Amino acid sequence: MFTRLDHVGIACHDLDRAVRFYRTTFGLDVCHRETNEDQGVVEAMLRLNGTDDGAATYLQLLAPTRPDSPVGKFLHRNGEGIHHLAFGTPNVDREVADLQAAGTTVLFTPPRPASMGSRATFLHPRECGGVLVEIVTKKG
């Protein structure tokens, strides 16, 4: 069961420029920054608000570290913009099992390590109305 919109992933060519825009325009600051070498991406998480379950909602700015990364390929095809939506759940493993039982294609089984110590997987866009959907459980 999803408990919140965890984050919106936004692909960008220049992470620092995007951070400046969101800071200047909306007053959002980076609360976490990391590089994921496996996915070929550097990211900045900008916290929007907190939730009753102790988690938060974020904007995740994503810039590729190499052109052949998933975000690099996305930018080449589509340009900058929304890359994915991520829904939070208390138990990503249970969500994966339920989704697979319902016939949904889950891209990473088991879920992989993700931002800020979380664990996550993705659902294929062809099954989600053209939207790449991430399911994430925050580090406990």
Kindly report, residue by residue over 29-55, the tens digit of the pLDDT: 999 999 999 999 999 999 988 665 567
pLDDT at position 54 is: 60
Domain ranges for the chain: 4-137
pLDDT at position 51 is: 61
Average pLDDT over residues 62-84: 98
Each as own residue / partner, the long-range contacts of residues 13-16 (CB below 8 Å, 24 or more positions apart, any chain) are 13/63, 13/75, 13/80, 14/63, 15/42, 15/43, 15/44, 15/61, 15/62, 15/63
pLDDT at 3 over 90: no
Average pLDDT over residues 83-99: 96
Class of domain 4-137: alpha beta
Say what the pTM is: 0.92
How many whole angstroms separate alpha carbon 71 and alpha carbon 43? 11
Kindly report, residue by residue over 9-32, the tens digit of the pLDDT: 999 999 999 999 999 999 999 999
What is the token pair recorded at 12? 């960008």
pLDDT at position 98 is: 95
pLDDT at position 49 is: 80
